[in-house]
Amino acid sequence: MDRGAEITVPQSVATARKHKIRQSISAWTFLIPALMFFVCYQVYPIFRIVWISFTDFEFLSTEPANWIGFGNYIEAYNDPLMWKSMGRAALFTVMFLPGTIIFPLILAILVDRVRHPLLATLYRLILLIPALIPSTLVFVLWKWMYNYQIGPINYMLVEVFNIFTFYNAPQWLGGTNLTLPSIAIMEIWWGLGYHAIFFLAGLASIPREMLEAARLDGANEWHVFWHITLPRLAPIMMILVVLRFGTSMAVIDEYLIFGGFNRGAPTYTWTVYMYDQAFNIGLWRQGFAAAVGMIGAAVMVFFVAGLVYIFRPRG
Amino acid sequence: MLKQDINYEANTPQQTWFAKHRFPIIRHAVINLFMLIILLPLSWVLILSVKSLPDSMRGQFWPRKFDFTHYSYVFENIETLTGNMMNSIVVTGATVLLTTFFAVLAGYALVHLKPWGKTFVFTILLLSLYFPTRVVAIISIYELQDFLGLINVTSGLILPYITLNLAISVLIMRSVFQLVPHEVIESARLDGAGLWGTLWFIGLPLARNGLVVVFIVNFVTAWGEFLLASTLINDQEARTMPVVLAAAQGGMGQWAWPRIAAVYIIVVTPGLIAFTFAQKLFFKGLAEGVVKG
Amino acid sequence: MVERNEIELKLQEANRRQLLQGKIDRREFISRSMVTGLGLAGVGVATKYGVGPAYAAEGRPLTPTFYDWIEGLHPGIPGVNERFPGINYQIAPVQGFGIERFVAESKKSDSTWDVYVGQTPFVEMTSLIEADVIEPWDNYIPADVIDDIIPSIREECSVNGKLYNWPFLLDVVGMGWHSGVTNKAGLVDAAPATWDEFLDGANTIKESGAAPFGATFDAHGWRSVAPLAHSGSSDVYTPEGLFDFTSDAAVEALVLMKKIMQTSNPDILLSGASDGGVNGTPDEVAFSTQRVGYYVKYFNAPLRMAQYWDDPKQLHMGPLPKVSGGEGSTVFWTTGCALFKHGQNKEKAAEYIQSLTYDRQIWKDSIAGTETAHVGQLPPYSSIYKEWGESKPDWMLPFVGLVRGQLDRAKSIDNHLFGLSQFQIGQPFWEAFLKGEESDPRVAMQNVTDAVRAEMNRG
């Protein structure tokens, strides 16, 4: 028997190594399709932007671009509008992010406990309706809702409840201080359903037996939530936070639609500034715009690293 | 516990049905509050689509006069609407399926096949989420598509669309696969199930919930994407829906609000109906996750 | 000019074929050949003889691209298209579609389209010229047509004496009012002649309770500051072509705006609902809800908004009031057609645009309105106005005659690369005065100029 063991050990090591190599190869085969798209449509454009950011490229100009090193970056760094507009994006993120995590979480926990099959399905159906509406139509809907003269919200406040008059009703959109919170509310509304579905998916992966056992052991609801549910939801929450942080810092469509190119507006964030320089003003200084974009991205990456650290899956 | 205590509990007639069921009632009340928040704006849009023009510019919810002609106005003025919707459906469907497929493969590989360099790939994917590629890179994407001869080709949109959410989809699948114990995969492999077999029969069912999430993320993005679609496609017939819809909202306002509302209803309803039928499959996946998990 | 010769060859080909097919007789053939041989001066004549459909060149059919709203507001356009069988009529989406695509294509010396209908000179024309995307029409537009364009419009559309924009739809800033509201307030049913009368009227409307708001305007600079400045003096441009914000007329315009705001809807400074805040503005909504008396904007706006009234006929329009003792001018701009340098079918494009811009049905629909649209945009040609002056059609509205008079005094905003963006950049600064944050209008305007300069110096 000993001799048999002596023989099989080196053999299994060899097979193990061969297997490891084979596994690596097949792993890379699995990765290749995704990486191919990624390199073409994501990496290549990024390299191009980085390259452009070091030149004085102006899209509308017929002159060739010149290398100017960090010139654009220095200009952007010293530009007060760069930081002001970055601050606006951060402000929006702070308003939006907590709401878009907490409300769907509550909703998901509640809906998850609904036992009646028909109601459960109905609720899930309604939750997903906003996700079926294309983004441009969601914006239109809320532009109507928030309309100063005849939107239902102001209608209720002015003509039904008489809390305000035509002269002092809240101006929800268009550049006032209420604009960012209003857009945040719109985004939260939009994500309410489909973030809840994310959480429902996460909750569904928690084995019921685990929960039952904990309850039988005398743990109360809060205990169960904090020690069992939340840790299991952590990966999904992290994904959501990281994803939404990125998208909310980099919002642009909404701001172009709701605020345009007025630099004094709270919706004029660094992405709008970038777009303004790249496609609107003067000869379209895309070199400079690219530098603005890169600085913005760097700031975001810095914060996201922090978030990933906070939300890393434990245990 | 004293016998007396038990008896006392059992003999309390004051506990009404409401009190006994207070948790479910509160639960349903809160849920329904959220449901209302979701549905009320949409019902406002529904009513708006049948208001006469003067009524659309008054705040009152119920119109004085109904006007059902807005729907026909939509079809007359966007003749290509059904075609555009088909384009959107095709592009979105293909994007969702392909991205999910690639993301599953990549996520699985990163976790269970553990290739050399996986941390590097992970970091790159994560970082890429934060570059505002879509806006400034619009020019380079245009050039790429032009080089491939895909300008004005509807299905050509699928390629950049896949990439829009590829990074996050891979990261989602990776997280979900991380929840699948490695031993399960190993034992399946030792049992002789090949690479694909392991993935299809063992890994995937356990990661089903991640699939749902990836589906939704990709669907929502592809369904509503505007910037790339309007830059890369010029012919009305080849365009997707969001581009055509955007034209309807902008401009000099000949698209009065009730007409846009009619567009709304026309665009959302088929999706809703289709979804009602598909939801059985959809939520079955979630439920089964409970049993298997 | 290789293209031209090719076109001539093709036309000649078409002629010969028609002769051989017996469609025309010898004499016709000879006159047409002469016409073709004369080159493009004869394009107009050739149209009369119906030479060839849109497939003039062997290459692609004539491919114009229109801003979507143009067809929506001018339902006569398909009628024009029918006169050009085979035309590949295309639409560009409005929102978010800038000229990037045009520029990207022209960098590769290519162009998917032949002519672009929807260009506004002070907005994107300079950018298109700088990027070498478009070329002038001078070689293709018939001489009698170019002379028919009203002089101030021709000036707007020209750079260095060359016509880069073939004008089509004319928008003039004037005013409209809700006669129901003004009657209720006891005011005369006519356009106030001076701004003082205008302000009095607005105050009366608000105080009498005839409507919540006395007057409103569109807060974007080129729709408010510029026209109000022009009503005092149109000499408000710097030598390099920028708007002179610190001129007396401009400063007075700002002060006037603040006075008007005392009777206007409170959300007047907010951005609009679409197209980067440029359309769907609060003034439009307020006017359409019948809560405002006077409305200052290009005529297209009150006309469209009146569609929402219970009785749209209550809308009356007139020219912009003048500053007492001032010039009484206003601002106009045209939406016109740009010729792509790397496009094809240029002669055909000229034929098409000529047919389009002279189409009487389009102008009738525009002034009198149709079931679906009432837009109030006017033609750029003096011959058409002369025709209407001589035998006035029964569908003619009074404001057209009044505006025609003002057109001889009206001026467009000077063309400049920063023609539009100077107003965007400056807006927060003059608004500081309007909101009461800055008490001296001159200081506010100086800030505007400084900000615009700063931005210009960057590039």
**B 231-290 residues with CB < 8 A to A:** 241-242, 245-246, 249, 257, 260, 263-264, 267-268, 271-272, 275-276, 279, 283, 286-287, 289-290
d(CA B72, CA B74): 5
Count chain A–chain C contacts defined by CB atoms under 8 A: 119
d(CA B113, CA B177): 11
Domain count of the fold of chain C: 2
* A26-30 average pLDDT score: 78
Tokens 């939300």: give the residue. Answer: A311
Structure tokens at A49: 């932007």
The predicted-structure confidence for C52-78, as pLDDT tens digits, reads as follows 344 444 578 999 999 878 888 898 999
Contacts of A168 (CB under 8 A, 6+ apart): C266
> Quick check: A161 and B281 in contact, CB under 8 A?
no
Q: What is the pLDDT of residue A29?
A: 82
User: Would strands C158-159 and C162-163 be described as parallel, antiparallel, or unpaired?
Assistant: antiparallel
User: Which ranges of chain B does DSSP label H, i.e. alpha helix?
Assistant: 3-10, 17-20, 22-48, 53-56, 69-77, 81-108, 118-128, 133-136, 138-147, 158-164, 166-178, 182-190, 195-197, 204-206, 208-224, 227-232, 241-249, 257-292
**How does residue C102 score in pLDDT terms, banded at 50, 70 and 90?**
confident
* Angle in degrees, 0-180, between the axes of helices B22-48 and B257-292, rounded to the nearest 10: 150
Mean pLDDT for all residues in chain C: 85
The DSSP output letter for C122 is I
d(CA A160, CA A157): 6
Which of B59, B242, B276 is facing A136, going by the closest CB pair?
Answer: B242
Structure tokens at C137: 């029409």
Q: What is the pLDDT of residue C6?
A: 52
Examine residue B140 and state whether it is found in any structural domain, yes or no.
yes
User: Would strands C90-92 and C64-67 be described as parallel, antiparallel, or unpaired?
Assistant: parallel
Q: What is the pLDDT of residue C12?
A: 62
Name which of C275, C237, C255, C298 is nearest C422 in CA terms. C237
Least confident range of A149-153, A230-234, A308-312, B209-213: A308-312
- C247: how many CB neighbours lie within 10 A of its CB? 18
Chain C nearest-CA distance from A242, in A, is 28
**How does residue C376 score in pLDDT terms, banded at 50, 70 and 90?**
confident
Burial class (CB in 10 A: 0-12, 13-18, 19+), B4: exposed
> Quick check: B148 and B85 in contact, CB under 8 A?
no
Query: In terms of domains, do C176 and C40 share one?
Result: no
Chain A nearest-CA distance from B8, in A, is 22
Examine residue C358 and state whether it is found in any structural domain, yes or no.
no
Name which of B169, B162, B102, B117 is nearest A33 in CA terms. B102
To which H or E segment does residue C80 belong? helix C77-82
Name which of C144, C33, C74, C51 is nearest C360 in CA terms. C74
pLDDT at residue C17 tops 80:
no
Domain count of the fold of chain B: 1
Q: Which long-range contacts (CB under 8 A, 24 or more apart) does C144-150 make?
A: C144/C44, C145/C44, C145/C354, C145/C381, C148/C381, C148/C382, C148/C383, C149/C380, C149/C381, C149/C382, C150/C380, C150/C381, C150/C382, C150/C407, C150/C408
d(CA B113, CA B195): 9
- B78: how many CB neighbours lie within 10 A of its CB? 21
Examine residue C316 and state whether it is found in any structural domain, yes or no.
yes
The predicted-structure confidence for C186-219, as pLDDT tens digits, reads as follows 999 998 999 999 999 999 999 999 999 999 999 9
User: Would strands C292-298 and C115-119 be described as parallel, antiparallel, or unpaired?
Assistant: unpaired
Q: Which residue of B has its CA nearest to C91?
A: B236
The CA–CA distances, whole Å, from A101 to A129, A205, B72 equal: 18, 19, 41
Examine residue C79 and state whether it is found in any structural domain, yes or no.
no
Tokens 């002596």: give the residue. Answer: A6
Examine residue B166 and state whether it is found in any structural domain, yes or no.
yes
Question: For A154, phi and psi rounded to 5 degrees?
Answer: -70, -30
Question: For C138, phi and psi rounded to 5 degrees?
Answer: -55, -35
**A 44-103 residues with CB < 8 A to B:** 44-46, 48-49, 59, 103
Burial class (CB in 10 A: 0-12, 13-18, 19+), C56: buried
Q: How many residues does chain A have?
A: 315
Examine residue B65 and state whether it is found in any structural domain, yes or no.
no
Q: Return left, alpha or beta for A284; rule: phi > 0 is left, psi -120 to 50 is alpha, else beta.
A: left
Which of B56, B246, B254 is facing C72, going by the closest CB pair?
Answer: B254
B182 in contact with A at a CB cutoff of 8 Å?
no
Q: Which residue of A has its CA nearest to C283?
A: A149
pLDDT at residue C118 tops 80:
yes
Name which of C245, C234, C230 is nearest C430 in CA terms. C245
Contact assignment for A304 to B159 by CB distance below 8 Å: no
Q: How many residues does chain C have?
A: 459
SS3 state of residue C309: coil
To which H or E segment does residue C315 belong? strand C315-318
Q: What is the pLDDT of residue A220?
A: 75
Residues of B in contact with C288 (CB under 8 A): 57
Q: Which residues pair with B198 in a beta bridge?
A: none
In chain A the domains, ranked by start, together with CATH numbers, are 54-310 (1.10.3720.10)
Range of the domain at B98: 72-292
To which H or E segment does residue A158 belong? none
Could you please report the per-residue DSSP string of C322-350? B-TTS----EEEEEEEEEETT-S-HHHHH
Structure tokens at C115: 């002519």
> Quick check: C451 and A274 in contact, CB under 8 A?
no
A neighbour chains, 3+ CB pairs within 8 Å: B, C
Structure tokens at A58: 């102006």
The predicted-structure confidence for C124-142, as pLDDT tens digits, reads as follows 899 999 999 999 999 999 9
Examine residue C452 and state whether it is found in any structural domain, yes or no.
yes
A271 in contact with B at a CB cutoff of 8 Å?
yes
CATH number at residue C184: 3.40.190.10
Examine residue C236 and state whether it is found in any structural domain, yes or no.
yes
d(CA C306, CA C301): 9
The predicted-structure confidence for C411-445, as pLDDT tens digits, reads as follows 899 999 999 999 999 999 999 999 999 999 999 99
**How does residue A89 score in pLDDT terms, banded at 50, 70 and 90?**
very high
Query: In terms of domains, do C312 and C444 share one?
Result: yes
pLDDT at residue C364 tops 90:
yes
> Quick check: C228 and C326 in contact, CB under 8 A?
no
The predicted-structure confidence for A2-20, as pLDDT tens digits, reads as follows 444 444 556 667 777 777 7
Examine residue C248 and state whether it is found in any structural domain, yes or no.
yes
CATH number at residue B152: 1.10.3720.10
* Cα A119 to the center of its chain, rounded Å: 30
B132 in contact with C at a CB cutoff of 8 Å?
no
Q: Which residue of A has its CA nearest to B128?
A: A42
A131 in contact with B at a CB cutoff of 8 Å?
yes
d(CA B119, CA C222): 55
d(CA B74, CA A44): 41
Better-predicted residue by pLDDT, C96 or B146: B146
**How does residue A119 score in pLDDT terms, banded at 50, 70 and 90?**
confident
Examine residue C418 and state whether it is found in any structural domain, yes or no.
yes
> Quick check: A250 and A161 in contact, CB under 8 A?
no
The CA–CA distances, whole Å, from B11 to B6, B7, B196, B245 equal: 9, 6, 62, 65
Q: What is the pLDDT of residue C243?
A: 95
Examine residue B122 and state whether it is found in any structural domain, yes or no.
yes
> Quick check: A136 and B226 in contact, CB under 8 A?
yes
d(CA B287, CA B190): 29
Better-predicted residue by pLDDT, B109 or A100: A100
The CA–CA distances, whole Å, from A151 to A140, B57, C270, C271 equal: 12, 9, 15, 16
To which H or E segment does residue C173 belong? strand C166-178
SS3 state of residue B151: coil
Range of the domain at C185: 172-332+412-458
Considering Cα of A196, then A202, then A204, then A207, what sign does the dihedral take? negative
Q: Which residues pair with C90 in a beta bridge?
A: C65
Examine residue C384 and state whether it is found in any structural domain, yes or no.
no
To which H or E segment does residue C174 belong? strand C166-178
> Quick check: C330 and C227 in contact, CB under 8 A?
yes
Count chain B–chain C contacts defined by CB atoms under 8 A: 91
A290 in contact with B at a CB cutoff of 8 Å?
yes
Query: Can you give the pTM of this predicted structure?
Result: 0.81
User: pLDDT tens string for chain B (293 positions)?
Assistant: 454 444 444 545 556 777 777 778 888 899 999 999 999 999 999 999 998 888 888 878 888 888 888 888 888 877 788 888 889 889 999 999 999 989 888 888 888 777 777 788 888 887 777 776 665 567 678 778 888 888 888 888 999 888 888 888 888 888 778 777 778 777 877 777 777 777 777 777 777 777 877 888 888 888 888 778 877 887 778 888 888 777 776 655 667 888 888 888 888 887 777 777 776 666 665 554 444 33
Could you please report the per-residue DSSP string of A274-299? HHHHHHTSTT-BHHHHHHHHHHHHHH
Examine residue B227 and state whether it is found in any structural domain, yes or no.
yes
Examine residue B21 and state whether it is found in any structural domain, yes or no.
no
d(CA B258, CA B249): 11
Which of B230, B239, B252 is facing C96, going by the closest CB pair?
Answer: B230
> Quick check: C100 and C73 in contact, CB under 8 A?
no
The CA–CA distances, whole Å, from B261 to A131, A248, B269, C207 equal: 17, 27, 12, 36
Q: What is the pLDDT of residue A226?
A: 79
